[in-house]
Structure 1
């Protein structure tokens, strides 16, 4: 017989205690792929009857309404009292049904569907992977690894002609526009590539300086 505790981690209770849809239903899912299976809806007669009587008694406007409320409350009390026991029994019936749709792996103890079960080994596909699937996956991973390595080598060759020692300004000091290393600002045309030379002494003027640090000439 199926053990109720086995399915508590991969099941969801969809039951309702009251109303027209009062009843029991449980959803179980494969712990490998996530596919679900439902047990099928079972009516909870007391819960549905309680909802009907409460609606009928609230609509009544004569002296019999008190009797109606009493009957509704009585049925409601019976529904409350019997809910947990009825729900547990329905869950056990659902587990019995689910037991034929899922397999419990002897190694990892997870429940999996038929598609995730290796019948010849008695283990789930995580514990006993399909050999051909693993081969194809390893082949694809090797191709990706080789392609990345080839791309890195090609990129290294392309980078050989790039100046990586000269410092470039990435923001124009005049209008604060991003220059992306350009020699002139694309927004205001200000020269941003390389250090400016003083018109008086030809000394380098640091970027952003208003005067030459050597002779004081305005930049």
Structure 2
């Protein structure tokens, strides 16, 4: 049996074996040393010889290629390499009895309690996080309580461009570039009234459609 195998990536290639184990809380990775496959080196030599001489040696070369395909999935050699990698990397990890996940000892393990920081956070760090979260919430609440629109004219339709000079404006009643009024009056085609509000669909004086 090979333990500690639910949190790793297989980085092995045709030349040898390598695995990367990761913490299930912070995601930090720990990569095992690359071990070259001596058998694959010998079979690579056979393939080279087979390409030169053909015949039986070439058949052995094709068998080597099939072995390479099988090796990419599961093989006793890979099991041995994985066992060695587990022995190399496992001292840097600890399995939490609370959640069952594998945690890196350097960052995500609480030695005082014997559990991971997800199950048993360090008190001082948790207090600091709670204080920061409360401070952030209070800042947002105070910002909501402030009247940020007391100087904003919401009764006049905002204009992106001045109808007189065409300069882009941020709103208000008059253009900051030419001083022209940004509230263009709507003239009634029937009676000529200009007393209608922006957005009106019918004239307030004659009832005609604007």
**TM-score w.r.t. length of structure 2:** 0.72
Q: How does 1:43-192 map to 2 (within 5 A)?
A: 43-58=36-51, 60=52, 64-77=53-66, 84-115=75-106, 116-153=108-145, 155-156=146-147, 158-164=148-154, 166-170=155-159, 179-183=169-173, 191-192=181-182
Instruction: Give the conservation status (yes or no) of the 8 Å contact 1:171–1:179.
Output: yes
Instruction: Give the conservation status (yes or no) of the 8 Å contact 1:47–1:76.
Output: no
CA distance in 2, matches of 1:172, 1:208: 17
**TM-score w.r.t. length of structure 1:** 0.70
Unaligned runs of 5+ in 1: none
Unaligned runs of 5+ in 2: none
CA distance in 2, matches of 1:152, 1:132: 30
CA distance in 2, matches of 1:106, 1:78: 41
CA distance in 1, matches of 2:97, 2:67: 43
CA distance in 1, matches of 2:69, 2:136: 60
* RMSD after superposition: 4.0
**Corresponding residue for residue 28 of structure 2:** 35
CA distance in 2, matches of 1:208, 1:139: 49
Task: Work out the number of aligned pairs and report it.
Answer: 203
Q: Deviations over 1:66-111 (max 9, x none)?
A: 3441342344455556662211232233223333221001111110
